[in-house]
Structure 1
Amino acid sequence: MKDMVSTISTSRECPKWIIDSHIWKAMCEYWDTEEAIARSKIYSKARLSDRNGLGPHIHLSGPKSYQNIKHELEKELGRRVTVGEVFIKTHTKPDGTYVDKKAEQIVKNYEKKLQEKLSEMEAETSNVSDGESRPRELTIEDHTVIFLEVTETDTRGNYYGVGSLKDNLPDIVTGKGKHADSTSFVSLQEQLKEAQQKIEEQAAHNARREEEQVRAVAKQKDKLEHLALVEKYLRQTDPAFLNFMATQSSEATITDPI
């Protein structure tokens, strides 16, 4: 985003992503202020400084973000790539030379540190090996930590040469990634526990309803059986009841048309 703003502040051509004309006008007015001009000169001087004989900072990523370049490399190689590989890709010319001395220095230190780490791991394996064990391989996180050890940071703590990949670095460096994984696992456990509790509550509710229905049916059955006994008794002992039932049956036959 910073590079995009720098480009349009120089060209003064309103990009498509700025829809509001009032915002564009305000931006142009700000760029013409003495404060903005002074800041621009300071930043330009910093970018083009010699940096203790290492020359100005240069990279070959162009308008592509480091994230895009990382994805392209992974697609090309068919595997995950490291921050160091992205740095080398963006700081190496087509002829194989580096864009500046600082990039060359960082790559040399990075490769040296990698070799030292591999040798250290091989030594650890040989000390405890039974002759069949293989040394552990460096992980993506190992490569990242080593690269960040050899590169530099600016006054705000931003790592040099990682571009938009910096958004993924804190989790790896500070260990927040593992903590996040742990937190996610705990959260998942809590969700499963809550879901299980809801299932059990629903099952208990269904069981209560079923029990109530069984009791209601049994009660209704008892009532019908009781009425049947009463009817049987009246039929056997009360002629008036028989006359009443016969009358009701006749009236029902006359009332209900066929």
Structure 2
Amino acid sequence: MLEVKDLSIEFLDRSSPERVLNHLNLHMEPGEIVGLVGESGSGKTMTAQAVAGLLPGHAVIKSGEIRLNGQDLLHCTKNELRSLQGNEIAMIFQEPMTSLNPVMKIGRQVEESLRLHTDLSGPERKERALKAMLDAELPNPEDLYYKYPHQLSGGMRQRVMIASAIICHPKLLIADEPTTALDVTIQAQIVRLLQKINRKYETAILFISHDLGLVRKLCSRVVVLCDGDMVEEGTIEEIFRSPKQDYTRQLIASVPVRTGTPLRRQLHE
């Protein structure tokens, strides 16, 4: 479904170009959940933004191709790319308060993709928005529809972002550190919600995180990045039981250990 080949990206906002992604190869099958892990600055977000067509202006693709169901995303027209964004590819960001419009009611924001990609009437959009909010496990969607982002908790705002992302039933959902700003209990709820969406709509999910514990619970396969290079790829079982690279072993070793419970047992509970 998704195929990234030989993708290299540079930043051009400094005195000399800075390579931030180096000949990355990545593939995803329909309905698959793949984890993209690594420390800050490893290239995870650049990969996500490149696939979603959201690279910042100072980022330049030096080589490679990105294909979604055979369509070349790097050579689409602006209109073609716009038709894919939110419709075929959707993205959940780390901090919803920076993505949600503070002066726009929740319902209108959830409906935005429908407004761009369909000819549905206002009542039809509202009906779809309420269903998406239910899918995102938001309580009392009829009430929330008329509220503003500041009236919601952090976990509820993230669910609003998820509702907005899934309302058009995209084939690929990119989740860029979607649980980082949330407490542990809400993190677990968001992971279960993403699992439910994956099963219900067969949505493929690219889950970007530095939290290997969450990646282990959600993903079937993992790609490990370090300083823009892909250092290792494998199934959850392969990566956690027998990592091949020192960097991957260091990432696994950095997972917090609960007192009295061996790390290896925690990783495979």
Structure that is richer in strand per residue = 2
Larger C-alpha radius of gyration, 1 or 2?
A: 1
Structure that is richer in helix per residue = 1
Q: TM-score range by the shorter chain?
A: under 0.3
- TM-score w.r.t. structure 2 length? 0.25
- TM-score w.r.t. structure 1 length? 0.26
Which gives a bigger RCO, structure 1 or 2 (Cα 8 Å, sep 6+)?
A: 2
